[in-house]
Structure 1
């Protein structure tokens, strides 16, 4: 698996030790190979479950749970919830979801969320590469040189296209129910929210879907909101950025 180097990377960027980098790359390559090889939802769920067991519980998955002792019920709940097959995600309730596309992606979306909620998700070097690796198996398209930071929230994933050299900062919401296309070189600031659906004011069950396209080199400021139907032209700036006073 080729790890693309962002165009704006600098030689002095923080870097893990050679031993750690080798282990990180081997793990990412293993996951990339497994998700390339296996598309059946049940098998992907097993892969994710086994990885999360070791990340959260520090031991391989195996053996039967003791279901008779009430003192072990919390541990059993944790163990069972690490398996994507036992998890309900909000997107699964939406009527417009494409169940055929969603099924093989659900385990990966759970992995995305749980990786970021673990100590591993705070490892900047590893996290950037993990999300890009996983994104290539989730998104409709993933370009090169993409940087996705901690805590980015996805809805379906399969309606999301990200072109080259895009930077998505921490805590961004990408609600791709109607489709989102992010053009080359776009920067989306921390905690910005992009929505491709809208509700009727008098009926919250009445949802309209409208694809969003963010033009090349556009800038979406931190905490800015892009609503369904809003057009973001190339090089446009949405929201306010900190600037030097003159």
Structure 2
């Protein structure tokens, strides 16, 4: 195969696209912090633990504490992102995006984040819900870090190469290619 022909099997491509479309629909329909956090928690539970979220935990057994810590840490409401410690945070704009920012980071650190074909499409879908604006043809590689997300505008056909830090404490506009190849 040449580099231009690389793509998943037709069956996997169908499943990947269906999952991304489902998430896009969910994040479009549900824009509140708590519901988005629940969606992210449930998706990460399956991605990381390989099983659906099971509700209440048994917190009395000491032997289950490490697993309980992991499970609780998959819920964006139980963690703090760096942006939350900054004085210029706009809570109204940030908190609906916080679960999606966490999902982006957790996805990139999971085995799924190693799948370039899927990851590019996943991050681009999330960018449309996180960024102030995301133009058509946007491509986003793994390892992108940002502060707030809501101060980023990506123009049409912008490309973000891997491991770029977007310091968006002030509004920024992404044009062309950003980062080293």
TM-score bracket, normalised by the shorter chain, equals over 0.9
> Which structure carries more strand by proportion?
1
Larger gyration radius, structure 1 or structure 2: 1
> Which structure carries more helix by proportion?
2
Residue of structure 2 equivalent to 1:136 = 128
Query: What is the TM-score normalised by the length of structure 1?
Result: 0.71
Residue of structure 1 equivalent to 2:34 = 42
Distance in structure 1 (CA, Å) of the matches to 2:122 and 2:3: 21
Distance in structure 2 (CA, Å) of the matches to 1:81 and 1:11: 37
> Secondary structure at the residue paired with 2:149?
coil
More relative contact order, 1 or 2 (CA 8 Å, 6+ apart) = 2
Alignment of 1:198-213 (within 5 A): none
- The CA deviation at 1:139 is 0.3
Residue of structure 2 equivalent to 1:51 = 43
Q: How many residues align?
A: 180
Residue of structure 2 equivalent to 1:189 = 179
Q: In the alignment, does 2:79 pair up with 1:79?
A: no
Residue of structure 2 equivalent to 1:67 = 59
- The CA deviation at 1:63 is 3.4
Cα deviation code 1:144-181 (max 9, x no counterpart): 11111011001100000000111111110001001111
What is the Cα-based RMSD across aligned positions, in Å? 1.3
Distance in structure 1 (CA, Å) of the matches to 2:66 and 2:105: 21
Gaps of 5+ in 1: 1-9, 191-221, 223-246
Distance in structure 2 (CA, Å) of the matches to 1:104 and 1:161: 17
Query: What is the TM-score normalised by the length of structure 2?
Result: 0.96
> Secondary structure at the residue paired with 1:61?
coil
Give the ranges of 4+ consecutive aligned residues of structure 1 lying more than 6 Å apart after TM superposition. none
